[in-house]
Amino acid sequence: MTLGARVGVRTGWSRKSGQERLVYRLLLPVFGTVFVLATIPFVMAVIEATTAGAKGFVGLDNFKVALGNPALYEAVKQTVLYGAIALPVEILGGLGIALLVHRVIRSAALRAAIYVAAMLPIVIPQIAVGVVFRLVYQPDYGILNVLLGRTGADQLLWLSSPPLALIATASVDIWQWTPFVYLVMFAGLQTVPSESVEAAQVDGASSWMQFRHIELPYLRPLLLLVVFFRLADVVRVFDHVYVLTGGGPGTTTQYLSLYIYRIGFQFTDLSQASALAVVVMATMTIFYTIISRFLPADRG
Amino acid sequence: MQHTRPATRIATYSLLVGIAVLFAFPLYYLIVTSLKTKAELFDPVPSLVPNGLNLASYQSVLFGRGFIGLLVNSVIVGLSATIVAIAVAFAICYPITRLPASRRLRGFVLSWALSLRFLPPIAVVIPYFTIIRTLGLYNQLPALILVYTIFNLPLAIWMLRGFLDEIPLEIEQAALVDGASRWQAFRHVLLPLSRTGILAAVIIVFAFDWAEFLFAFILTATPQAQTFPVGVQGLVTQFEIIWNDMAAAGVIAIVIPLTLMLLARKYVMTGLTFGVIREK
Amino acid sequence: MRLGKWFTLLVGAMLVGSACSGAASPAASAGASAGASAAASTGGGGATTLTIAAVQGVEDAGLKALAPMYKQAKGVTLNIVEAPYDNLYSKLVSTFQANDATYDLVMMDDPWMPKFGTDGSLTDLGSLGISRDADIADVVWDVGTWPPPRGPVPPTEKSKPKQLLGVTIVGNVEMFMYRKDITSTAPASYDDVLTNAKAQKAAGLTGYIIRGKATNPVVADFLPILWSQGGDVFDENWNTVIDNDASKAAINFLVNDLKATAQSDPGSTDAADRDKIMANGQGYQSSVWPGEINTAVLDPAVTKVKDKVAFIPIPKGKSGKGVGMMGNWLLGIPKASKNAQAAADFIKWMLQADTQKTYAQNNGIPSRTSILKDASLTAANPYFPVLADALQAPPNWRPRTDQWNAVETILGTELNKALTGGQTGDQAATNAATQIRALMKSKGYTP
């Protein structure tokens, strides 16, 4: 508690009420521990990003190398396209389905069943998800082209024509992660007090008004959570893309995570990979600062 | 929804059914693939139904390859890490939602928690490897429990905070006025009221722990501490993909959490009775 | 807003703090190696346990079969820990970097050798009593020697003494397969390959199955073609020649001529897909690794081409030679291992002729010439004699540089792009050459 005591003196905390003191007494031991535990690896990543093997500290050199590589911008562009396809569908779709189920399905057992079902795509190992979708999309023996063939439609090269490969990889993301958005949003909808909703319905509010003015405010912190989880996860997609396309055709599906992996382990330049990761983190932080202004997590 | 026209209702239901079909198809195909023999999988034209109920892949995954030991590790790690993460998240959320914490402190804790998710894992995997070895936890289950706890704090903290925020302070204060201690008020008033939130968070956090591969792979060396996804990864080798075993592994990865929930169905059903009118 | 400001401040503080704490890292790594000794794997009761990092798949099948025999013969337990191909590489990189002592023996693909040799991660096997044996092809020993005894040597490695760092346990050379029931004579050259491919395409088969998935797979399929046609990636002085005329012609041969006879989607085809096409009888010819033969192409459970496929060395190209590619799996001993001598004793035991024979009977791919030519083994493994000849030929190895994975990634990406119609073969050559040149220059290989 010495740290707490020092902080207290500095901020004039000793004059505050016992309740506020309790905040720190409860928060510091646990939060302090995880803060330190989670910060050490980050600091080590920053050290790696600013050093180069035997040469030691090299300042921002690794960042210059990392940002000077034209392949990075190709990877960023493709990642943005991937995110632009997957994220709106996942977030709006997940939210929409959560609202639909919330309003239409009344049976508690069915609601619990749907909730449990939505967990399934997340518990399957990523690599197995990739393999199943390879059995769906592979042009020669994938089930999708077989089914298309039965309807007389053209067989499509799902994995090696640039726009289709982008869509195929993004569709896996959508399948796997829309349910996650649903899980969070549906749970969030349960915090909306039913009397507010009933009052609005009595006042004749439309479904949209009910969502906009009553439910959305309650969902805002969770929506922020979901937006950032999905944004951060677009920079993590790996296994299903690796199994489906290996980054091809060309560099079409060499998304940022695959790019950073290749820099780190194929080009064996962990310093540059760490620099890239720090840049990603800084970018996400900027996004966070901007978006949380428009979508404040706290009401009032 | 009581006043909607039948046409709208039908449209809504068809939409939900359509989504359910799209959602279920890959799961269905996963199961079908797990029941096929290698010969069926080599057929030039794949079929939508297997020739028979061939369970050899399950036998191969669980016993032939010995993944059953990995499953045990996964369950231990998943449950422990989930419990610890939720407990830690609760300990962090309680003071910032139920007590008069300053906005700055609250904002700092929440932003920091979310930021844990911002750094691509590839950059921290080597640092974590070094730390875990320094702590002497390399190739041991506690290493994974520790790391997964940290990784799931963002989700756990933000979900719990969303629920705790909506429980009126007055309820707890009423208990305090009645002479309950803070611990009693927490244990008998707050905890029961936040159970939906806790359970929702438990399910998602467990799901994340259950499927994690990268750290499980780097922080372990032998099957004694490896988890299921680490074993499953090996079913894609340099020259072949063992399709049916892979699919069987996918089904097993689904069945275990489902079974756990069935075992805990009393809690799941009372916890997930979403929409029960909450007393204010 | 305030929230965001605090947060930005925090990140800033971390950045500053990290600069100061740089000094702390040597202490941390010292602690790490201390932890390593605790992890050394000595089983209870004084019996030795050797932990082996192995690649998952057909490559370690023989090794797994030998483990119980070794336990019985020498009382040493072999603890084989498998990881898939890509993951094994990153696992070894991180393990060696941390000087961790978990593994006493590691399986390595031969193109990884330069990385681990350059980094000094492995023990000299010569000092542990392992030496060359005339019954095992020279190239098998050469590929495990660092710095490489022939071909260009990386500039940083020229002054190092030559050491044997790895011994081949899976003799693996890329070969060629074709349907001998359709054409009775083997293709003598890549011209024949193309002629047959066109004819069989017209007859409704896949004329030549291209393994064209981005990066490693397409490069593995392409290098034998490149070398046989007289092209190369580097010359003797590490100058990039992937865009010279012969190399360009070889690229165009793959992405234009062979592609016209290939399956519908070569750009996403990996070995598993190729083997499916071949085993189903839908394909006429392709390159092939020994590891693909018994698990797929000729697997009795799936094959429709039993006794219909011949395995031959890579056909001759414009260079006048057919050049196979080596993909040997080596066994090495990490410097950090606490059981180096016991590990070396296992390697010696494994190389004995009788062990090699048992190994071959259990899906292992031996490297001993006398075993490969052993008539009692050829029935089950018709390609063994071809493999023995291919090893004597000798086959090419991938350029001995720790940058090979990077080069392969560049070349494999550009080839895949050309194969999927995103650019021409000439453009692929030029783009790959530009990037590889810049890479080799930045690493000090060329002025």
**Do residues C402 and C148 make contact, with C-beta atoms less than 8 angstroms apart?**
no
Which of residues 271 through 300 in chain A touch B, CB cutoff 8 A?
273-274, 276-278, 280-281, 284-285, 288, 292, 297-298
pLDDT, greater one: A3 or B196? B196
Helices (H) and strands (E) in chain A, counts: 14, 0
Let me know if residue B70 belongs to a domain: yes
Q: Render C392-407 in DSSP notation, one character per residue.
A: HSPPB-----TTHHHH
Centre a 10 Å sphere on the Cβ of residue C421 and count the other Cβ atoms it contains: 16
**C321-360: pLDDT as tens digits:** 999 999 999 999 999 999 999 999 999 999 999 999 999 9
Q: How does residue B271 score in pLDDT terms, banded at 50, 70 and 90?
A: low
**Unique residue bearing structure tokens 């840049």:** A279
Q: How does residue A190 score in pLDDT terms, banded at 50, 70 and 90?
A: confident
Q: Is B139 left (phi over 0), alpha (psi -120 to 50) or beta?
A: left
The domain total for chain B is 2
Q: How does residue B124 score in pLDDT terms, banded at 50, 70 and 90?
A: confident
pLDDT, greater one: A174 or A1? A174
> Which residues in chain B touch residue C299, judged by CB atoms under 8 angstroms apart?
38
What is the domain range of residue B126? 57-271
- Considering the domain architecture, whether residues B203 and B85 belong to the same structural domain is answered as yes
**C278-320: pLDDT as tens digits:** 999 999 999 999 889 888 899 999 999 999 999 999 999 999 9
Sheet holding C49-55, edge to edge: C77-83, C49-55, C105-109, C329-332, C167-170
Q: How does residue B1 score in pLDDT terms, banded at 50, 70 and 90?
A: very low
Let me know if residue B258 belongs to a domain: yes
> Which residues in chain C touch residue B104, judged by CB atoms under 8 angstroms apart?
2-3, 6
- Say if residue C7's pLDDT is above 70: no
Strand-pair partners of C42: C48
Centre a 10 Å sphere on the Cβ of residue A246 and count the other Cβ atoms it contains: 25
Q: How does residue B270 score in pLDDT terms, banded at 50, 70 and 90?
A: low
Tokens of B24: 């279920």
- Taking chain B, what is the end-to-end CA distance rounded to the nearest angstrom? 23
Phi and psi of C80, rounded to 5°? Answer: -90, 120
pLDDT, greater one: A217 or C23? A217
**Do residues C234 and C406 make contact, with C-beta atoms less than 8 angstroms apart?**
no
Chains that touch A (3 or more CB pairs under 8 A): B, C
**Domain containing residue B249: CATH number:** 1.10.3720.10
- Considering the domain architecture, whether residues B87 and B128 belong to the same structural domain is answered as yes
* Cα(B268)–Cα(B203) distance, integer angstroms: 10
Closest to A41 (Cβ–Cβ): which among B26, B117, B127?
B127
- Considering the domain architecture, whether residues B49 and B16 belong to the same structural domain is answered as yes
* Nearest CA among A180, A70, B192, B228 for reference residue C435: A70
Q: How does residue B3 score in pLDDT terms, banded at 50, 70 and 90?
A: low
Return the H-helix or E-strand segment holding C50. Answer: strand C49-55
Buried b (16+ CB within 10 A) or exposed e, C300-334: eebbebeeebbbbbbbbbbbebbbbbbbbbbbbbb
* Nearest CA among A292, A295, B112, A283 for reference residue C9: B112
**Unique residue bearing structure tokens 């056909």:** C315
* Cα(B236)–Cα(B242) distance, integer angstroms: 6
Helix (H, G, I), strand (E, B) or coil at C210: coil
Mutation target among A42, A138, A225 for the B interface, most CBs of B within 10 A: A225
* Nearest CA among B31, A273, A44 for reference residue C21: A44
pLDDT at position A16 is 58
Mutation target among B272, B276, B277 for the A interface, most CBs of A within 10 A: B272
Beta-carbon contacts of B63 under 8 Å, excluding residues fewer than 6 positions away, are none
pLDDT at position B126 is 83
Give CA separation, B250 vs A73, A128, B203, B204, C88, in Å.
Answer: 35, 6, 18, 18, 22
- Considering the domain architecture, whether residues B24 and B79 belong to the same structural domain is answered as no
- Say if residue C8's pLDDT is above 50: no
**Do residues B149 and B184 make contact, with C-beta atoms less than 8 angstroms apart?**
no
DSSP state of C60: G
**Could you name the CATH architecture of C46-170+326-392?**
3-Layer(aba) Sandwich (3.40)
Give CA separation, A265 vs A255, B2, B129, C442, in Å.
Answer: 15, 58, 15, 17
Mutation target among B31, B84, B93, B119 for the A interface, most CBs of A within 10 A: B119
- Considering the domain architecture, whether residues B70 and B90 belong to the same structural domain is answered as yes
Burial of A117 (0-12, 13-18, 19+ CB in 10 A): middle
- Considering the domain architecture, whether residues B179 and B75 belong to the same structural domain is answered as yes
Q: How does residue A5 score in pLDDT terms, banded at 50, 70 and 90?
A: very low
pLDDT, greater one: B161 or B251? B251
**Unique residue bearing structure tokens 């990406």:** C413
Determine whether the interchain pair C263/A140 forms a contact, defined as Cβ–Cβ distance below 8 Å: yes
* Nearest CA among A226, A196, A259 for reference residue A98: A226
- Say if residue C24's pLDDT is above 70: no
- Considering the domain architecture, whether residues B50 and B166 belong to the same structural domain is answered as no
CATH topology of domain C175-325+399-442: D-Maltodextrin-Binding Protein; domain 2 (3.40.190)
- Considering the domain architecture, whether residues B75 and B148 belong to the same structural domain is answered as yes
**B22-57: pLDDT as tens digits:** 999 999 999 999 999 999 999 888 999 999 889 999
* Cα(C87)–Cα(C91) distance, integer angstroms: 6
pLDDT at position A217 is 86
Quote the minimal CA–CA distance from C152 to chain B in Å. Answer: 28
Looking at every residue in chain A, the average pLDDT score rounds to: 87
Over residues A226-250, the mean pLDDT reads 91
pLDDT at position B191 is 86
Tokens of C142: 């050469």
Over residues C120-149, the mean pLDDT reads 94
* Cα(C291)–Cα(C170) distance, integer angstroms: 9
pLDDT at position C363 is 86
* Cα(B226)–Cα(B219) distance, integer angstroms: 9
- The verdict on A69 touching C (C-beta cutoff 8 Å) is no
* Cα(C130)–Cα(C139) distance, integer angstroms: 16
Quote the minimal CA–CA distance from B162 to chain A in Å. Answer: 7
Torsion of CA C349, C350, C352, C355, to 10 degrees: 110
Q: Which CATH class is domain A60-294?
A: mainly alpha
**C354-380: pLDDT as tens digits:** 999 999 999 898 989 999 999 999 988
**A73-119: pLDDT as tens digits:** 999 999 999 999 999 999 999 999 999 998 888 888 888 889 889 99
* Nearest CA among C318, C410, C334, C376 for reference residue C33: C334
Q: How does residue C37 score in pLDDT terms, banded at 50, 70 and 90?
A: very low
Beta-carbon contacts of B120 under 8 Å, excluding residues fewer than 6 positions away, are A235, A236, A256, A257, A260, A276, A277, A280, A281
- The verdict on A22 touching B (C-beta cutoff 8 Å) is yes
Tokens of C218: 């397409």
Tokens of A50: 């600013």
Last residue within a domain, chosen from B34, B54, B74: B54
Centre a 10 Å sphere on the Cβ of residue A162 and count the other Cβ atoms it contains: 19
Closest to C15 (Cβ–Cβ): which among A46, A139, A162?
A46
Determine whether the interchain pair B101/A101 forms a contact, defined as Cβ–Cβ distance below 8 Å: no
Looking at every residue in chain C, the average pLDDT score rounds to: 88
Q: Give a three-class secondary structure readout of chain B.
A: CCCCCHHHHHHHHHHHHHHHHHHHHHHHHHHHHHHCCHHHHCCCCCCCCCCCCCCHHHHHHHHHCCHHHHHHHHHHHHHHHHHHHHHHHHHHHHHHHHCCCCHHHHHHHHHHHHHCCCCCHHHHHHHHHHHHHHCCCCCCHHHHHHHHHHHHHHHHHHHHHHHHHHCCHHHHHHHHHCCCCHHHHHHHHHHHHCHHHHHHHHHHHHHHHHHCCHHHHHCCCCCCCCCHHHHHHCCECCCCECHHHHHHHHHHHHHHHHHHHHHCHHHHHHHCCCCCCCCC
Over residues A124-149, the mean pLDDT reads 92
- Considering the domain architecture, whether residues B126 and B212 belong to the same structural domain is answered as yes
Let me know if residue B276 belongs to a domain: no
**Do residues A185 and A223 make contact, with C-beta atoms less than 8 angstroms apart?**
yes
Q: What is the ipTM of this complex?
A: 0.89
* Cα(B199)–Cα(C444) distance, integer angstroms: 57
- Considering the domain architecture, whether residues B155 and B261 belong to the same structural domain is answered as yes
Lowest mean pLDDT among A14-23, A36-45, A48-57, C249-258: A14-23
* Cα(C339)–Cα(A218) distance, integer angstroms: 61
**Do residues C328 and C398 make contact, with C-beta atoms less than 8 angstroms apart?**
no
* Nearest CA among A122, A118, A121, A83 for reference residue A98: A118
> Which residues in chain C touch residue A251, judged by CB atoms under 8 angstroms apart?
413, 417
- Say if residue A244's pLDDT is above 90: yes
Phi and psi of C306, rounded to 5°? Answer: -55, 135
* Cα(B226)–Cα(B224) distance, integer angstroms: 6
**A202-214: pLDDT as tens digits:** 888 888 888 988 8
Q: How does residue A154 score in pLDDT terms, banded at 50, 70 and 90?
A: confident
- Considering the domain architecture, whether residues B235 and B122 belong to the same structural domain is answered as yes
> Which residues in chain B touch residue C279, judged by CB atoms under 8 angstroms apart?
42
pLDDT, greater one: A217 or B86? B86
Determine whether the interchain pair A43/C3 forms a contact, defined as Cβ–Cβ distance below 8 Å: no
Sheet holding C285-288, edge to edge: C285-288, C175-179, C309-312
Task: Determine the distance from the C-alpha atom of residue A291 to the mean position of all C-alpha atoms in its chain, rounded to a whole number.
Answer: 14
- Domains of chain A by residue range: 1-49, 60-294
Q: Where in chain C is the domain with CATH 3.40.190.10?
A: 46-170+326-392, 175-325+399-442
Task: Please count the CA atoms within 13 angstroms of the CA of C345 that sit on its side-chain side.
Answer: 15
Count residue pairs from A and C with Cβ separation < 8 A. Answer: 129
